[in-house]
């Protein structure tokens, strides 16, 4: 390698590293003398590049060569522009360009479709590229710029994971009413801008818990006082104003008697002028209900399990409904399940499962199963070895540590002498969490009743959280008996607009504005320990308490 190559760059190349961090006085001195080492942009295996606190004003267009980057940290430099080639970095998930002198971002920035977190705070931005393609975006930080509005496309209904927008200290004069499309927006900071009013539709952001509006010259001074008291009080006030506005527009004066809380925030059982989505809960019947016994062997391995049954499903409502249900599970595994680190979801065709079930742990050498989508039985030991061999071959071929598919979860089994499994009354294994379901209970488009299983090493509460996400996502997809055409979609509609927009990693959403109300029937499943003591029954009376949908418990 040429003598002009920086030692940090040489180390990355020689040791096959995937991260390069450049900061500090020694780096700054070299940059002032001769600029960045151009060999940096030949390290195409890099996953993370950090250049922080330096005097650089521009980045070479060769940045676009680093197509494996998932993290790009360019904070606290003197950057005045970014190269157009940044659009080539399609794998980027985390971008930090804060603390620079950027006045604009290249239009190609909109092509970074996998961004999850974007920090452009403390720049000189007067405009922002369209962000409607950022379907994975969860965190957007654009405070302390010169923006006159939120980025174009930020209210696109498909941005279902967007939970935080920090846009304080800008020149924003108004917020779009479409902001209510952001079904998982939790925090909105628009402090110290030029707002004279707030859109009443803010009250229809079902997850919004924190809204910061100080430092604005609002005409309705009550809003500022309410905001100082609590975000909830502010949102309730906006809801009242929205109801009045709609009542006036519709000429319906009797709507003034409605509860002050917004649609979707009210108590269950209140009168309403629209039909809501609903989950109907069937009680566990001691003689007929499905019982799961959790054995002592699984304690310390993967001890927590929660189950329930979704009844009377119909995947024939639209051509893509079954596919979207499978995609729902994938999304939940990546997000709320924390890439299966927190929990794992398994689904089984109930008619293929003979109860009662036993959740236990076994020696992998004697644990016989037929993995999903295979016809040949194997042992857990042989399966894990085969997967590890495949993963190692992949690493050698691709020369990188990142894995995909089931191989990503092998590390969850490290150091385990016993492995968890769920067995039916015929002693057949139907699930091997967190790795695979089994062929015996595989679901298909014709499946009518599904046993849902969530296991975890974290807690029962975490299992319940994941289970609720699964049920609500299934409800919104429209796989239950209620609704029409899987959320009103027809065979020509592109999948992913309504139902997919409602599926996410943060929690249940307000569905009151969807065209067709959906219904889902859920039956309780009881889990007991080895001596018959109750561990958990789901869903219990304290579960499914979100006001975004109605819950009818058929045993009350």
Distance CA 238, CA 244 (A): 10
Q: For the chain, how big is the Rg over CA atoms in Å?
A: 26
Q: Are residues 196 and 293 in the same domain?
A: no
Residues of the chain with pLDDT under 70: 1-3, 250-275, 391, 394-415, 482-516, 555-556
Please give the pLDDT value at position 239: 86
User: pLDDT by residue (tens digit) across 426-447?
Assistant: 999 999 988 889 999 999 999 9
Would residue 388 count as lying in a domain?
A: no
Q: What is the CATH number of the domain that holds 110?
A: 3.80.10.10
- Residue 51: in which H helix or E strand, if any? strand 48-51
Pairwise CA distance, residues 25 & 431, whole Å? 55
* Backbone dihedral angles phi then psi of residue 464, each to the nearest 5 degrees: -65, -40
The CATH number given to whatever domain includes residue 495 is: 3.50.40.10
pLDDT at 395: 66
What pLDDT is stored for residue 409 in this prediction? 55
The pLDDT of residue 520: 94
Check whether residue 193 and residue 341 sit in a common domain: no
User: Do 434 and 309 lie in a common domain?
Assistant: yes
Q: What is the pLDDT of residues 524-548, one digit of tens each?
A: 999 999 889 999 999 998 898 777 7
Backbone angles phi and psi of 43, in degrees to 5: -85, 70
Residue 392, domain member (yes or no): no
295 and 222 in a single domain? The answer is: no
527: containing domain: 278-375+419-553
Q: Which pLDDT belongs to residue 248?
A: 79
113: its two tokens: 């479709």
Indicate the angle between helix axes 321-334 and 460-477, nearest 10 degrees. Answer: 150
What is the end-to-end Cα distance of the chain in Å, rounded? 76
Packed helices 231-250 and 221-229: angle between N→C axes, nearest 10 degrees: 140
Coil/strand/helix, residue 100: coil
Residues 303 and 218 in one domain: no
- Is the pTM here over 0.85, yes or no? no
Instruction: Answer whether 331's CB lies under 8 Å from 505's CB.
Output: yes
Domain boundary residue, one of 170, 196, 228: 228
Taking the C-alpha atoms of residue 470 and residue 479, their distance in angstroms, rounded to an integer, is 12
Q: Are both 361 and 477 inside the same structural domain?
A: yes
Q: Report yes or no on 333 lying in a domain.
A: yes
Do 323 and 446 lie in one domain? The reply is yes
Complete DSSP assignment for 518-553: -EEEEEEEEEEETTS-EEEEES-TTS---TTSEEEE
Alpha-helix runs per DSSP H in 285-379: 321-334
- Are 235 and 224 in contact, with CB atoms under 8 Å apart? no
| pLDDT, mean over the chain | 84
Long-range contacts from 533-536, C-beta under 8 angstroms, 24+ separation: 535/294, 535/305, 535/460, 536/305, 536/306, 536/460, 536/463, 536/464
Residue 233 in domain: no
Structural domain total, the chain: 2
Are both 336 and 191 inside the same structural domain?
Answer: no
Residues 317 and 206 in one domain: no
> What is the C-alpha separation between 334 and 136, in angstroms, rounded?
11
Q: Are residues 426 and 534 in the same domain?
A: yes
Q: What are phi and psi of 212, to 5 degrees?
A: -115, 120
Given 228, 255, 289, which residue is the final one in a domain? 228
Name 310's bridge partners. Answer: 450, 522
Place of tokens 């029409």: 484
| pLDDT of the residue at 516 | 65
- The verdict on residue 543 lying in a domain is yes
SS (H, E, C) 259-308: CCCCCCCCCCCCCCCCCCCEEEEECCCCCCCCEEEECHHHCCCCCEEEEE
Sheet holding 164-166, edge to edge: 19-22, 48-51, 71-73, 94-96, 117-119, 139-141, 164-166, 187-189, 210-212
């Amino acid at each position: 390698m040429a003598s002009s190559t920086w030692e940090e760059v040489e180390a990355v190349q020689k040791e096959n590293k995937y991260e390069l961090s450049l900061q500090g006085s020694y780096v700054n001195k070299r940059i002032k003398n001769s600029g960045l080492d151009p060999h940096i942009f030949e390290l195409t295996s890099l996953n993370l590049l950090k250049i922080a606190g330096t005097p650089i004003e521009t980045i070479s267009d060769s940045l676009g060569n680093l197509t494996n980057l998932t993290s790009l940290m360019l904070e606290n430099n003197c950057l005045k522009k970014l190269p157009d080639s940044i659009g080539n970095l399609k794998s980027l998930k985390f971008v930090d360009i804060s603390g620079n002198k950027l006045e604009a971002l290249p239009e190609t920035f909109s092509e970074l479709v996998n961004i999850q977190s974007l920090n452009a705070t403390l720049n000189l931005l007067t405009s922002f590229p369209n962000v409607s393609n950022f379907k994975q975006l969860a965190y957007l930080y654009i405070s302390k710029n010169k923006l006159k509005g939120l980025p174009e496309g930020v209210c696109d209904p498909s941005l279902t994971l967007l939970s935080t927008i920090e846009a304080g200290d800008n020149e924003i004069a108004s917020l779009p009413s479409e902001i209510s499309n952001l079904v998982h927006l939790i925090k909105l900071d628009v402090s110290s801008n030029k707002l004279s009013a707030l859109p009443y539709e803010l009250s229809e952001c079902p997850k919004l818990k924190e809204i910061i509006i100080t430092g604005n010259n609002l005409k309705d001074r009550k809003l500022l006082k309410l905001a100082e008291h609590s975000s909830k009080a502010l949102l309730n006030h906006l809801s009242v104003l929205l109801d009045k506005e709609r009542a006036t527009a519709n000429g319906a004066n009797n709507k003034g008697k409605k509860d002050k809380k917004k649609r979707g925030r009210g108590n269950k059982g209140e009168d309403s002028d629209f039909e809501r989505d609903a989950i109907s809960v069937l009680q566990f019947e001691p003689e007929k209900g499905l019982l799961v016994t959790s054995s002592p062997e699984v304690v310390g391995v993967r001890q927590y399990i929660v189950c329930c049954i979704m009844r009377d499903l119909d995947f024939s409502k639209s051509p893509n409904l079954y596919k979207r249900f499978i995609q729902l599970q994938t999304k939940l595994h990546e997000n709320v399940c924390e890439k299966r680190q927190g929990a794992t979801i398994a689904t089984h065709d109930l008619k293929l499962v003979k109860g009662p079930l036993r959740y236990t742990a076994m020696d992998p050498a004697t644990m016989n199963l037929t993995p999903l989508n295979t016809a040949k039985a194997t042992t857990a030991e042989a399966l894990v070895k085969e997967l590890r061999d495949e993963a190692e071959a992949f690493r050698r071929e691709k020369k990188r540590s990142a894995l995909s598919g089931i191989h990503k979860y092998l590390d969850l089994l490290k150091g385990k002498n016993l492995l968890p499994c769920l067995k039916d009354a015929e002693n057949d294994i139907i699930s091997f969490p967190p790795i695979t379901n089994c062929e015996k209970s595989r679901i298909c488009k014709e499946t009518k009743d599904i046993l849902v299983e969530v296991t975890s090493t974290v807690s029962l509460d975490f299992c319940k959280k994941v289970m609720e996400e699964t049920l609500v996502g299934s409800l919104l997809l429209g796989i239950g008996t209620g609704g029409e055409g899987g959320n009103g979609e027809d065979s020509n509609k592109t999948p992913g607009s309504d139902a997919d927009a409602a599926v996410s990693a943060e929690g249940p959403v307000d569905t009151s504005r969807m065209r067709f109300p959906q219904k889902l029937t859920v039956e309780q499943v009881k889990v007991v320990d080895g001596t018959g003591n109750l561990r958990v029954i789901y869903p219990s009376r304290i579960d499914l308490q979100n006001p975004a949908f109605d819950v009818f418990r058929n045993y009350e």
